[in-house]
Every structure is written in structure tokens, then in C-alpha cells.
Homo-oligomer: A and B are copies of this chain.
Amino acid sequence: MTATPGARPVRRYDPQRADRIVDAALDVIAEHGVPNTTHRLIAAAADVPLGSLTYHFTTLEELRARAFTRHAERMAAAYEAHFRTVRSADDVVEAVTDLVHGDAGADPHDWAIAYELYLAALRDPALRTVTGSWMRRSRRVLERFVDPTTARGVDALVEGLVMHKILSTDPVSREQTREIVARAVRPATPPGTGV
């Protein structure tokens, strides 16, 4: 009977601990923001002792980077999955509208982390590669349905709409969003077409 006292089960052997710590770090970033993301808060969130963090990750900066990388990976995967059922350019409008209004698997929690990442990447070139590959992936998805320039525009539009949605006091209706998106998706005036 080695596990007698009600104190602690002596949590030894925890192979996925590093993973759990990374997820906990994401939770803390989402809830408290990068400035308040400390070793101690993360440790509490992951329910591991403080020393465990410095054991698995040499520095806090490294841990943050891993967390952001994982989040970007997940977001990109969700993005791709969301567009897997889309067939025509018309469906794109609806799919993008879903995206903005949180009906595609990404909630405010996720977007908060995303914006924390953006801001961090503004000053850390290493993180720039993370945001870069994420943006490239999402653009590539859109390019299956629309031309590259339109893809860029729609991608940026989503970013802006979500940000405004989160910050705005008077929110945009789904109807409005659909109309805005439709305008962006509609192909450019093709030089020789029409007349």
C-alpha cells in the first residue's frame, strides 16, 4: 500500500504530460493573455508542479511557441475540414459566413488565441513562420474555388470581420455578413466579359 494518504497519488509516470502542458498553456493564453501567461499559472492549469515545466521546456518562450504552433495547426486543419464539403463558389459564401459566425468549430476562445499569436508574431520573426504557413494553407483552400486575388481578399476579410465581431458593441447580423462576403467572392470584372 504505497498510495495510502489522501494527499496525492504520487502522480508518477505521465507520458503525455508535455502535451497536456501545451494545451494548458493555450487555455491560459486564451483566458489571461500572453502578458499574464506565467509558468505558475500554466502549471496550475495543467495540475502539475512548477518544476515540471522547466523540465519539459527549457524556456517559457519555447513553450509559448509550441502552443501557438499547435493552435495554428489545429485552426488550419479545421479550416480545411470545413471546406471539404464545399463544391461550388456559391457554397463558399455560406461556408465563409459560417466561419465568421463561429459555426465552423472556432469559438471566441480560439480566435482570442489567434490574435494573441498575431501580435506576438509582429515582434517575433520565428512566429512569423507559423502565421505564414497558416495563412498560406487557408488561402490554398479558398483557391480551389476562386482566383488567387479573391482568395487573398476573402482571407483578409474573414480576419477583419471576426475581429470586428468580437470587439464591436453592435454586432453584425448573419444576413449582413453573407452580403459582405458575397461581394468579396464575386469574381472581379473580367476585362473582356459581359459586353
- Measuring CB to CB, which residues of chain A are less than 8 angstroms from any residue of chain B? 33-35, 112, 115-116, 118-119, 121-123, 128, 131-132, 135, 149-150, 152-153, 155-161, 163-164, 166-169, 172, 176, 179-180, 182-184, 186, 188-189
Contact of A159 among B135, B164, B179 (CB under 8 A): B164
How many chain copies? 2
- CB-CB under 8 A from A155, the residues of chain B are 160, 164
| Contacts known (A118-B115, A160-B157, A168-B132); A188 close to B182, Cβ less than 8 A | yes
- Extra contacts besides A149-B179, A152-B164, A157-B184 (8): CB < 8 Å: A115-B115, A118-B163, A135-B164, A150-B183, A152-B172, A160-B161, A179-B188, A183-B184
In the assembled complex, the Cα of A152 lies from the Cα of B33 at a distance in Å of 28
- CB-CB under 8 A from A158, the residues of chain B are 160
